[in-house]
Amino acid sequence: MMTNTPDRLKQTTGAIVGKVRTYNDVVEYLDGLKPSEYSEAVITRMQKLDQLLGNVSTKLDTILVAGSNGKSLTMHFAAKLLKEEGFKVGVAYSSHFLTYNERLCFEAQQINNKQFTDVVNEVINTAQTHNIQATAHEIMTMAALLHFVNEKVDIILLEVACGGKWDPTTICHPKIAAITRIAQDQRNINNQDLDAVAFEMLEITKPGTWFISAEQSKIRLQKMRTFTLERGAQWAMPIRKLAFLPYIYEQLYGRIASLGERIAQMYVEDIKGKFSPFLRGNLLATQKGQRGRPTLEAKRYSELNPLRTLKTFWAEHFDLPKGRYELFDKEKPTIVLDNATNLDAYENLFLGVRLLHYQKPLEGFALVLGVEKNIALDEAMKTIRYLFKKVPGQLFFVPIPGHTVQYHEPQELVAKAKELNIKATACSNLAQAFEQAKQVVDERNGLVAIAGAAQIISEYWNNRGIKKF
């Protein structure tokens, strides 16, 4: 069945009708592309696509979020708060677990198959017609911008997949740029040290952009501030406090949620010029310029219309996106899924396990883990050893499925664990490891944690019978 060619495509391709693809065709096409690239050529291709599609990167306010850990969560939390303030918010993630649809969310709902097919197919046809050899990440980034322009959102939050300077999202001129905590072992961007990695990420800032960072070392923050101001961007004080999240999540993600709160407040007050005592945490409920005690009328109004608080908001609306520390306490045994891939993320995951154990002693604990090559292996093993000292359990190493990341072989990891007196088992796949893990924990009060890569989380869901199509 033929469909009408979008006006943009007619204007930019000389009325050449592009190929009509089904949803499965589009997914197969994306799967066949190079997943991503990090070079100057990325920006050249993105600029060409952007121009051909009507300069969509300039048509809406954008917020870019870079960093090592917590990017998707920061965007998720900020989007919820901005929606609460009455804005229409689009969110573009850089990865997915089961389907590409997960990458594009509007009003907390992922894009449906028809919308996904239409918008991605338009970008693919534009790239093919003009011989632009875009990667899957570039296609999806441009599709996100195009889709959210079509949906007439007020603001788009985009996740920077890698680094900053040559990421596809940097064709945007963001109103706000944020960097989450940079992991201790985050040296996979051209083998740079952590300061160089931070400066690479800071390339997402543009003149006039408001910049906010999560907690970093004091010296690094000073360097980041100097770099930001030299680029003509505006520096905001970094986030240190914890947001009021439910237990156990305040300890795990309190700082990430706090960064999301600050991003939302900056957009509402600094970009849109509105006053929001809600996003200020109700600590400063007096507007600028207002002095003295409130009038009787103002007091009466405040009694009849009590201020919303962030604490009550998170108590009522807190949730997490798929794959980012999902806790299934109704399963037998309880299951935790986490896409942790570096030391900081490991430590956060293991903190969550310890908190669950302190809340109610676990009757058996099993950790199923895949380990990427770029992790500091000796430090990772020491972190695992510390966990098992606090929460006795068993360790199962698995390969990371697919061919997109290099990983340590399970047998190699078992030998390394043995050097530190950690009892571990090598498994050929996740299904085998999961079955063995369930055997060593109590069905009602035990815990199985699965972590190490997004691909492992995807494999878990596929093994649960959730199909990709």
Say whether the peptide bond before residue 248 is cis (omega within 30 degrees of 0): yes
Range(s) for CATH 3.90.190.20 in the chain?
326-463
Range(s) for CATH 3.40.1190.10 in the chain?
57-110+135-254
Q: Do residues 251 and 350 make contact, with C-beta atoms less than 8 angstroms apart?
A: no
**CATH number at 326-463:** 3.90.190.20
- 78-92, 219-233, 292-306: least confident range: 292-306
- Half-sphere CA count of 16, side-chain side, radius 13 A: 12
As a dihedral over the C-alpha atoms of residue 337, residue 342, residue 344, residue 350, rounded to 10 degrees, the angle is 40
Q: Do residues 147 and 53 make contact, with C-beta atoms less than 8 angstroms apart?
A: no
Q: Mean pLDDT throughout 345-361?
A: 95
pTM as predicted: 0.87
- For the cut 80, the answer to whether the pLDDT of residue 304 exceeds it is no
Average pLDDT, the chain: 88
Confidence category of residue 116, pLDDT binned at 50, 70, 90: very high
Q: Do residues 257 and 353 make contact, with C-beta atoms less than 8 angstroms apart?
A: no
**CATH number at 57-110+135-254:** 3.40.1190.10
As a dihedral over the C-alpha atoms of residue 368, residue 371, residue 376, residue 379, rounded to 10 degrees, the angle is 10
Highest mean pLDDT among 4-18, 244-258, 309-323: 244-258
Q: What is the pLDDT, as a whole number, of residue 5? A: 44
DSSP 372: B
Q: Mean pLDDT throughout 334-339?
A: 94
